[in-house]
């Protein structure tokens, strides 16, 4: 079954334009014979954004989206890719910096409190990932505090 070369919507074999985005389909069908199969040619923008927020592995999809020529001019999708990438970076900062710093308590009485703080930070980031998966699945944009501003700045610094 052929798909639109721009948005990934299913199109008929004789369709010249995509019914969803209006992109010309002449000679550029994603499933045209003789053309190498490209994973990103069959995926919609919403699904690509969803992949960027999968906990612990979404960074791979985010980097692939940012490196893909197909999504180079898609500001909204690139925002989600950067935001997903920064969420993963926040997870790594908590995992590699904050948690080890809190693992050495000043007193043995305070140890459970320190451990709880790092666990709460991990839980907050996991909650942000799940929250963003829900928002993106409903085609809603949401800028997370601090991370959303960083992602927005990163997108605006990119050249189309």
127: nearest Cα among 139, 112, 141, 144? 144
Mean pLDDT, the chain cut into blocks of 10 residues (160 residues total):
77 80 66 52 89 94 92 93 96 91 62 74 96 95 95 86
d(CA 53, CA 62): 8
159: nearest Cα among 68, 76, 75, 40? 75
Rg (CA), the chain: 20
SS3 10: strand
Residue 69: what pLDDT? 86
Residue 87: what pLDDT? 96
User: Is the Cβ–Cβ distance between 144 and 133 less than 8 Å?
Assistant: no
pTM over 0.75: no
Residues paired with 17 in a beta bridge: 24
């Amino acid at each position: 079954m052929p798909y639109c070369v721009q948005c990934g919507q299913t199109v008929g074999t004789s369709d010249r334009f995509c019914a969803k985005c209006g992109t010309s389909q002449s000679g550029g069908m994603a499933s045209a014979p003789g053309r190498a199969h490209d994973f990103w040619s069959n995926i919609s923008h919403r699904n690509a954004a969803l992949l960027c927020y999968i906990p612990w592995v979404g960074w791979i999809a985010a980097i692939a989206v940012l490196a893909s020529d197909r999504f180079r001019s898609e500001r909204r999708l690139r925002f989600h890719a950067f935001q997903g990438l920064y969420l993963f970076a926040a997870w790594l900062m908590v995992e590699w910096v904050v948690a080890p710093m809190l693992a050495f308590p000043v007193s043995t009485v305070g140890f459970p409190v320190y451990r709880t703080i790092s666990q709460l930070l991990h839980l907050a980031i996991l909650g942000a990932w799940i929250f963003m998966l829900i928002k993106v699945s409903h085609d809603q944009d949401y800028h997370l505090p601090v991370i959303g501003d960083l992602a927005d700045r990163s997108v605006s610094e990119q050249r189309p």
